[in-house]
Amino acid sequence: MKSRLGYILAGILILGLYFLPNLIWGDGSFIQVHDFLDSNVAHIQSMKLGGGLFEADGDLPILCGIDRASAGSPWNLRVLLYAFLPTFWAIIANLVLIKLTAFLGLFFLLTGYVIKGRGSLGAAFTAAILFALVPFYPDYGISSAGVPLLLLGFAWLQEGRHVLPALLLIAYYAFFSSLVLSGVFACVALALLILIKWLNFKKFPWWPFIGLFVLSALYVGLNWQLFATFLSPSGAAEISHRAEFAQTSFWASLGTSLSAFLIGQYHAGACLAILPVVLFFVLSRYEVKYASLRNVTLFFLGLMLLGVLLNAFLIRFGFQCDRFYFLYPALAYTLLGVVLCELSARWAKWLVVLSMLVFSLAFDVHLRNNLAKHLGLLDTPSFAQYYDTALMDRVKADLDLEGKKVACLGMQPAIPEYNGIYTVDGYYASYPLSYKHRFQQVIQGELDKSPELKAYFCDWGSRCYLFSSELGLNFLWGKDWGARVHELSIDTEALKALGCDYILSALPIENAEALGLQDCGSFTNENSFWEIRAYGL
């Protein structure tokens, strides 16, 4: 037990060093923008400012007023962190919990069930700390990072011991993960494993079944608003913009799953997954003690293929069925622990460890960009510069934006949204198709100039933004970049019909007068990343 404790303390120390830049620089740190600051963080902050974070009803102040229910459960642990901590420190606390959960979950799963005996602690520690250093997406909690902890709980239930702690681990996973990203797929995988065990041993595994029931019931209870929206007649009548998603072909889905098999998936945590999987099958092909783990690996890879088949048919209905890859990093690093135990040559072990580590750090936007920014190698805004609350307070006061709506150009709508300003544009996973069509009238002129933007909006459209063919898919333009829009082709009358009062642009619009836009001045300061130009409609 003492040796275990030493490894645990060493892991905590390594993770402490990982977060040291954030502790030193505070909200001057870089925090990932893509699919994080530009979306859900701003949504949560806007609900927090409006006092509706824990309300069942209400709308988000973006687009046409998105139903609060579609923003996810207010009782998710990630949301609770935002409720009780300043936003920056809630993000850091969330990341710390994700990393700790990944490390401790895999360490105890490996040492308790997968690799035991003399010399196994070092291999378990190495695999677990490498797993913790995988760049898990911060917005999805422990959807991927918590899978080993979830499996540990079910392993205890299978043995009929530690029942209460096991149920607490299952509850922790439910409260800190996403139902639609990993929860559904974890439940499907567990249900199939329970069924297989029942058929093989002719004895029903009651405790694992109870664990699955608890996990499923908690997901339903935590996300009841989402279920109610889909099941109610009014909710069913509202067609989502996802109905126009471009149909994913079988080969495209297969390519996604093949990519996940080789290097993981971006949102689930990029890792050199192919290496431990292949080495495991090579090194353990004659080892009887790993027969069950080989079967589980083949079972999981079969589920990934099944997800590909289903995805090709159901994506048109807004269901993404290939997300079994959220469970994949946990499997890959479990196999890594076995590989490190079975490799006899020390140089081979070091080569595998360094390959996994270098790959993870190369994909770790959080750590890499923090170091690059403070070494002067990257011109990108810090957390404080991105949302720039002081500058946005000036904008709100000078333009008197209380009760008014804006659209954004060259900057994400999440920035004014975070600061309590209603935006007629925004980034959201599901909003009314009718609104997408109305917004398309605004930007049709720009879509006609760029096949890339047209496909991006018409075939996907979750980023419902003011597009410019001159700016392309870059939505973040700093004041020192010297860029400007020469010829913006938008329908300002259609924009007014959406209730928009101002355009907040991160760069000058040279044909503003021809569009009938009134120049209302610019806003910046010495330390700001932005220079915001306001144009009245």
pLDDT in tens, 495-511: 999 999 999 999 999 99
- Are 356 and 393 within one domain? no
| CA–CA–CA angle 479, 509, 467 (5° rounding) | 90
For residue 230, being part of any structural domain is answered with yes
Top pLDDT among 366 and 415 is at 415
- Are 293 and 405 within one domain? no
Q: Whole-prediction pTM value?
A: 0.92
- Are 353 and 449 within one domain? no
User: How far lies 486's CA from each of 117, 474, 493, 509, in Å?
Assistant: 69, 16, 20, 6
| pLDDT at site 118 | 59
Specify the DSSP element, H or E, that contains 518: strand 518-523
- Are 223 and 306 within one domain? yes
**Residues 417-473: tens digit of each pLDDT:** 999 999 999 999 888 999 999 999 999 999 999 999 999 999 999 999 999 999 999
- Are 150 and 231 within one domain? yes
- Are 470 and 354 within one domain? no
- Of 315, 338, 372, which residue is a domain's last? 372
- Are 152 and 278 within one domain? yes
Strand partners, 502: 406, 536
- Of 372, 398, 431, which residue is a domain's last? 372
| pLDDT at site 315 | 64
For residue 393, being part of any structural domain is answered with yes
Work out how many domains the chain is built from and give that number.
2
From the CB of residue 469, how many other CB atoms can be counted at a distance below 10 Å? 20
pLDDT beyond 60 at 233: no
For residue 302, being part of any structural domain is answered with yes
| pLDDT at site 235 | 47
Alpha-carbon distance of 51 to 207, in angstroms, equals: 41
User: Which two three-digit tokens encode residue 329?
Assistant: 């990093």
**Residues 303-341: tens digit of each pLDDT:** 888 888 787 776 666 667 888 899 999 999 999 999 999
Q: What is the 3-state secondary structure (H, E, C) of 492-517?
A: HHHHHHCCCCEEEECCCECCCCCCCC
For residue 182, being part of any structural domain is answered with yes
User: Which two three-digit tokens encode residue 362?
Assistant: 């190369």
Specify the DSSP element, H or E, that contains 224: helix 224-231
**Residues 119-155: tens digit of each pLDDT:** 689 999 999 999 999 999 988 999 999 999 999 999 9
- Are 332 and 406 within one domain? no
| pLDDT at site 52 | 74
- Of 341, 372, 403, which residue is a domain's last? 372
For residue 45, being part of any structural domain is answered with no
Token pair 């996802």: residue: 242
- Are 184 and 223 within one domain? yes
- Are 352 and 401 within one domain? no
| pLDDT at site 128 | 97
Q: What is the mean pLDDT of residues 472-496?
A: 93
Smallest CA-to-CA distance from 129 within 12, 262, 23 is with 12
For residue 60, being part of any structural domain is answered with no
- Are 159 and 16 within one domain? yes
Alpha-carbon distance of 137 to 135, in angstroms, equals: 6
User: Which two three-digit tokens encode residue 287?
Assistant: 């080892």
- Are 279 and 319 within one domain? yes
For residue 296, being part of any structural domain is answered with yes
Alpha-carbon distance of 117 to 326, in angstroms, equals: 30
For residue 513, being part of any structural domain is answered with yes
Look up the domain containing 174 and give its range: 2-30+72-372
User: Which two three-digit tokens encode residue 262?
Assistant: 């080789």
Q: Environment class of residue 442 by beta-carbon count within 10 Å: exposed (0-12), middle (13-18) or buried (19+)? A: buried
DSSP codes, 46-84: HHHHHT-TT-SS-EESBTTTEEGGGG--TTSHHHHHHHH
The alpha carbon of 446 is separated from its chain's Cα centroid by a whole number of angstroms, namely: 29
Query: 494-505 burial, b if ≥16 CB within 10 A, otherwise e?
Result: bbeebebbbbbb
Alpha-carbon distance of 270 to 414, in angstroms, equals: 26
